[in-house]
Structure 1
Amino acid sequence: MSRTSLAEQLANNVELWIRQEQIPEGTPLPERGLATRFRVSRSPVREALLILAERGAIVARSKGGYAVSSAGGDSSEFALPPANEDEPIYLKIAADRLSGELPERMTENELMRRYEMTRTQLGEVLRRISQEGWIERLPGNGWQFLPVLTSGAAYNQGYRMRILVEPAGILEPTYGVDRDGLLKCRAEQQALVDGAAKWASPAQLFDANTRLHECIAAASGNVFILESLRRLNRLRRLMEYGKAVNRAAAAQRCKEHLTLIDLLLADQREAAADFMRLHLRDAAREKAVNASAEASSTEAVALD
């Protein structure tokens, strides 16, 4: 992920913060304050502000700098969990790991120096990464990164596995609808369709979509279906982060998620299983096409 990509993610996080906190129109946005809040240097903050100005989320002030615009503080209902303030650094570590810039083992001091973080800040990021399953602590203060999907062939095989397993899980004799879980996921997906997909971070998009798919897998009553999907999602997480997000395609996948949820809530399991199969096939085909385009351009993909 380039510095420009970091600025894009930072811009998304700043816009998300403005919306969630309902920052009033006209509130100044000083570079130093944003750099402190999001724990980055002022250079990506400067780029992020330019991006937000182009979007119309903020406006230039006559005295210099930027302020929240009337559109920026619009707080339409948003059901996704808030973005972590360490998101830019978290995504930078993910990108560096995926690109091979980070060795398999690193000490906390090495990570602190590389990313200019305090030990407390680093501890929060490492705790999150550890919970997601792509790093583990070694004896002492060292950490070891765990294997992730890095090849296109393995990535495609993962989708083939999902096409085989996820629809079958819906048809398991032990399947039981998790209404509360599905309704919570539905609120998240509706928020994305209503506009949040335009500015949610890659991690938020990935987490919202995997929450839904894992909720459905858990309802199968088959622990092997759920655990195999969870393990695959841990492996593919970084590869998804390494791809630019096609916002229109992401919103379309979320619309499909709403249809899938409604079929399950109506207990139309056979129809839901067929729809899940088509949904995954379309997503796999789309990503295969875009992956080849990315080799020669910056073509983006959706997260599902």
Structure 2
Amino acid sequence: MAGQTETVLNAILMGIDRGELNPGDPINENALIERYEVSRTPLREALLRLEAMGLIQRQPRKGAVLFKPSLEEFLAILEVHARLEGQAAGLAARRISSHAADRLMQIVEACATHARDQGNGDPDGYYALNLEFHKQVAEASGNPFLLDMIKMNARKLLAYYRARYDYPGAIAQSAQEHRQLAELILSHKADAAEALMERHVQFDRVTVMDLLAKLG
């Protein structure tokens, strides 16, 4: 039973990470039962865990839907997320190993190459690189609990970060800031890395309103 619960839970989490599930999308319980050959009890247990994480909401007569933030909720989550990402960058600047530094620079170069060769094209391809950059920084912090907290908060906003790369110039700016962040981390400038990362992941209020409107 526990294995079935984990199967459904991971399937929904992967759907969020890949952009297959977007804010406000309904969770089709019957489709999940059929696809993963699970019973209704482990499915409901998985949904209860996702609800406790704040990733789904239950609506009267509509069932479970993926969490869709209001403007105020978006700004509140973003405030926390920026601090967590900033803390990860600061810790990475203090703790990063030579092997992790090599991996970080590899993804920085991949981001720069994509921005140079693709321009504003293939935003989904760039977004995958962006996720890997932030994953490398968080792992380099050496704090697995912080990494889990970042993942949980990020999943509430992933669709909006992905949509941000549809805006002209957003990819080039992101790639440039990734290089600046990496240079600060590799130079062990913890305070500067933390401050820049917080700015890097933040949106101003107008952009937040645009993104909320864009995703309906």
Answer yes or no: same fold by TM over 0.5.
Answer: yes
Distance verdict in 2 for CA 1:149–1:257, change over 3 Å: farther
* Structure 1 residue 138 displacement after superposition: 6.4
Residue 161, structure 1, aligned to residue 85, structure 2 = no
* Structure 1 residue 277 displacement after superposition: 2.6
- Give 3-state SS (helix, strand or coil) of 2:182's partner: helix
* Structure 1 residue 226 displacement after superposition: 0.9
Corresponding position of 2:209: 292
- Structure 2 counterpart of 1:196, one-letter code: Q
- Structure 1 counterpart of 2:152, one-letter code: R
Q: C-alpha distance in 2, partners of 1:279/1:163? A: 8
Which 5+ residue runs of structure 1 have no aligned equivalent? 1-89, 111-122, 124-136
Q: C-alpha distance in 2, partners of 1:186/1:279? A: 14
Distance verdict in 2 for CA 1:252–1:224, change over 3 Å: same
- Structure 2 counterpart of 1:193, one-letter code: A
Corresponding position of 1:107: 31
* Structure 1 residue 104 displacement after superposition: 4.1
Corresponding position of 1:139: 38
Distance verdict in 2 for CA 1:150–1:180, change over 3 Å: same
- Structure 2 counterpart of 1:267, one-letter code: H
Corresponding position of 2:68: 150
Contact 2:85 / 2:138 at 8 angstroms: preserved in 1? yes
Count how many residue pairs are aligned between Structure 1 and Structure 2. 175
Q: Deviations over 1:159-179 (max 9, x none)?
A: 211222222233449622421
- Structure 2 counterpart of 1:94, one-letter code: L
Q: C-alpha distance in 2, partners of 1:215/1:161? A: 20
Distance verdict in 2 for CA 1:242–1:105, change over 3 Å: farther
> With structure 2 as the length reference, what TM-score do the two structures score?
0.64
Matches within 5 A, 1:201-280: 201-202=123-124, 204-241=125-162, 245-280=166-201
Q: CA RMSD in A?
A: 3.4
Q: C-alpha distance in 1, partners of 2:165/2:122? A: 13
* Structure 1 residue 227 displacement after superposition: 0.9
Residue 179, structure 1, aligned to residue 179, structure 2 = no
Q: C-alpha distance in 1, partners of 2:31/2:68? A: 23
- Give 3-state SS (helix, strand or coil) of 1:246's partner: coil
Q: Deviations over 1:180-236 (max 9, x none)?
A: 22122112211232133522243x333221221221121111111111111222332
Contact 2:81 / 2:154 at 8 angstroms: preserved in 1? no
Greater helix share, structure number: 2
Distance verdict in 2 for CA 1:159–1:226, change over 3 Å: same
Q: C-alpha distance in 2, partners of 1:224/1:291? A: 28
Corresponding position of 1:94: 21
Q: Determine what percentage of the aligned residue pairs are the same residue.
A: 16
Q: C-alpha distance in 2, partners of 1:230/1:197? A: 28
